[in-house]
Amino acid sequence: MNQISDWKSFLLPYELAVGGFIIKLEAIKKEYILKGERSPIEIVSGRVKALASILEKAERLNIQITKIPEEIFDIAGIRVTCKYIEDVYEVFELLCSRKDVEVFLIKDYIKNPKPSGYRSLHVIAKYNVETIEGQVPINIEFQIRTHAMHLWASAEHSLKYKYFRNIPEPVKERLVKVAEVAASLDEEMTKIKEAVEATEVEYSRGGEYSLDDLEIFPGNIKKW
């Protein structure tokens, strides 16, 4: 796999998996809306890790090139953004109930945040991609998080690249404090949701979406 043509062939199944799962999850969202129920899925996006990032990670973790398919789990990544923390776990249950994926690793950084303050639920699964040459087994990572978690993670990600993974300590300390604020926001949003449901003023028939939101086409696919 030292030739670019080989890498393109290697990455193709991951690209097919990401594109396919974005459409599948958008279809689940549409199904909720058409049934008049609130969807736990707000935004779906995905990406295939860039070759440079794959090689950098392999070098950083001392992974041999031949071991990359088995030992780097996030080459194919799907991100699902939700409104509420309970929605995160509902999406998780939806993934676990699917017959086309085999979940084998769960990293719950919501219940056990990273020291940096990072919060998200990572679900890693095995998935068989259908190609013209038959099935190709790959690993695929699902990141499920709330909007507040995503805002924090996006800011931290940008800072990591700005400082080449060496974020200054004062900035790290401020990030931890902001993570606490984001966690408080999620807790308050949950309380608001519970209050709304208690007074039976929850949205009905998916009224927060327009009919245009129900269209699912490859051109609508979001990348991160």
pLDDT digits (tens, 9 = 90+) for 145-192: 999 999 999 999 999 888 878 899 999 999 999 999 999 999 999 999
Q: State phi, psi for 93 to the nearest 5 degrees.
A: -65, -35
**pLDDT reading at 209 higher than 80:** no
Q: Work out the pLDDT band at 213, boundaries 50, 70, 90.
A: low
| Listed residue (13, 68, 18, 76) closest to 50, CA to CA | 76
Per DSSP, the residues of 136-154 read EEEEEEEEEEEHHHHHHHH
Task: Give the separation between CA 78 and CA 98, rounded to whole angstroms.
Answer: 15
**pLDDT reading at 3 higher than 80:** no
Contact 79, 44 (CB under 8 A): yes
Domain edges within the chain: 4-148
> Which of 59, 141, 169, 194 is the catalytic position?
141
133 part of the active site:
no
Question: CATH fold of 4-148, please?
Answer: Beta Polymerase; domain 2 (3.30.460)
**pLDDT reading at 216 higher than 80:** no
**pLDDT exceeding 90 applies to what percent of the chain?**
79
Return the H-helix or E-strand segment holding 44: strand 43-48
**pLDDT number for residue 202:** 47
pLDDT digits (tens, 9 = 90+) for 13-48: 999 999 999 999 999 999 999 999 999 999 999 999
Alpha helices in 49-168 (DSSP H): 51-60, 68-71, 85-97, 147-162
The DSSP output letter for 49 is P
Looking at every residue in the chain, the average pLDDT score rounds to 90
